């Protein structure tokens, strides 16, 4: 069956209306109807039920649409890969990042890309894993990088752990906690904790270390995916902030932030993972970006 006719089948299934589907395919409705009828004749099966409320897939139609989507995806991938081979380098890289890699890795990656490949266009989206996953599925993003605990795992996706970003608990210079010779996790509770969105099991492990009742996840005083705002909260209030070590290094060196030396407590970390669509071939630029992320120090 022709690729164009497969696209007609998928468009009709998604729109549920012959007139709307014909408009989306930029052909007349009679021509579109003939295309669908030809597909049903070719398979000798009724693929759609027609009624006054619109069009729905039959059981056979649902199977055909599922396979058609895969064929269309492979066809797009083929055209894309051949163009990449011909042009040597693709002109655009689009990737997504969660809050930690947005602050720590993305700036250095984009600078490296701009210095090495000044003619390419780089699109970076900072968002949560749910939104980034949908954009990967829609082929709007080549990949995204986020904490493994927030990543969506599904059969159409490849999820690859790449590295850990160490974090710690930080306070402003002169913070009341720093007057203590010994600091325990429970001593942070009165000051509140600010952090990016954290998975429930991470909050639960912190609450256990703080001595809170069993099965009681820690309630964050401030939850925000903007690390710049988290940093300002730590510098200007007595709130304890959970912050990546590599990002805090400059503030620590200047004496503005101090890492709490908490005894008998394992500091948190962000387990970074790349997520991309199964069967999608990376462009040379995307491949360069992925290798940069994997080798990032």
pLDDT class for 90, splitting at 50, 70, 90? Answer: low
CATH class of 92-160+272-295: alpha beta
pLDDT above 60: residue 88: no
Which among 296, 276, 14 has a CA at the least distance from the CA of 152? 276
The confidence band for 22, taking pLDDT boundaries of 50, 70 and 90, is very high
The listed CATH number (2.70.98.90, 1.10.10.10, 1.25.40.10, 1.20.1540.10) that belongs to domain 3-75: 1.10.10.10
Q: pLDDT at residue 278 above 60?
A: yes
pLDDT tier at 92, thresholds 50, 70, 90? confident
The dihedral over CA atoms of 55, 60, 63, 67, expressed in degrees to the nearest 10, equals -90
240 in Cβ contact with 193 (< 8 Å): yes
Give the tens place of pLDDT for each residue, 179-228: 998 998 889 999 999 988 776 667 777 787 788 887 777 888 998 878 88
Its CATH class, for the domain covering 165-270, is alpha beta
End-to-end Cα, the chain, rounded Å: 50
Cα pseudo-dihedral 124, 127, 133, 137, rounded to 10: -40
CATH 1.10.10.10 domain extents, the chain: 3-75
Instruction: Quick: pLDDT tens for 40-59.
Output: 999 999 999 998 889 999 99
> What is the β-pairing status of strands 222-223 and 193-195?
parallel
Residues of CATH 3.40.190.10 domain(s) within the chain?
92-160+272-295
Check if the beta carbon of residue 109 is closer than 8 Å to that of residue 293.
yes
Size of the chain in residues: 297
Amino acid 274: pLDDT: 95
Which part of the chain has CATH 3.40.190.290?
A: 165-270
Render pLDDT for 251-265 as a digit per residue (tens, 0 to 9): 999 999 999 988 766
pLDDT of residue 170: 96
pTM: predicted TM-score of the whole model, two decimal places: 0.62
**Residue 125, pLDDT score:** 95
Task: Express as a percent the part of the chain with pLDDT over 70.
Answer: 95
């Amino acid at each position: 069956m022709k690729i164009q006719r497969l696209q007609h089948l998928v468009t009709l299934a998604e729109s549920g209306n012959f007139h709307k589907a014909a408009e989306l395919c930029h052909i007349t409705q009679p021509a579109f109807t003939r295309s669908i009828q030809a597909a049903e004749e070719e398979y000798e099966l009724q693929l759609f039920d027609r009624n006054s409320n619109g069009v729905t897939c039959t059981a056979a139609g649902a199977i055909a649409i599922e396979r058609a989507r895969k064929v269309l995806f492979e066809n797009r991938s083929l055209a894309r890969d051949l163009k990449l081979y011909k042009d040597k380098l693709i002109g655009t890289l689009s990737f997504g990042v969660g809050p930690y890699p947005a602050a720590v890795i993305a700036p250095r990656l984009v600078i490296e890309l701009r210095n090495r490949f000044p003619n390419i266009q780089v699109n970076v989206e900072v968002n949560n894993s749910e939104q980034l996953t949908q954009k990967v599925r829609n082929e709007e993003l080549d990949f995204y990088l986020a904490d493994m605990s927030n990543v969506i795992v599904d059969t159409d996706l490849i999820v690859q752990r790449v590295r850990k970003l160490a974090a710690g608990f930080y306070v402003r210079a002169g913070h009341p906690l720093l007057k203590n010779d010994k600091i325990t996790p429970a001593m942070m509770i009165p000051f509140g904790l600010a952090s990016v969105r954290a998975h429930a099991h991470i909050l639960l492990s912190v609450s256990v270390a703080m001595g809170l009742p069993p099965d009681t996840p820690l309630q964050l005083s401030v939850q925000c995916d903007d690390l710049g705002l988290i940093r300002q909260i730590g510098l200007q209030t007595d709130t304890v902030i959970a912050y990546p070590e590599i990002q805090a290094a400059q503030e620590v060196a200047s004496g503005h932030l101090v890492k709490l030396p908490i005894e008998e407590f394992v500091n948190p970390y962000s387990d970074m993972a790349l997520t991309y669509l199964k069967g999608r071939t990376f462009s040379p630029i995307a491949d360069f970006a992925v290798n940069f992320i994997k080798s990032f120090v």
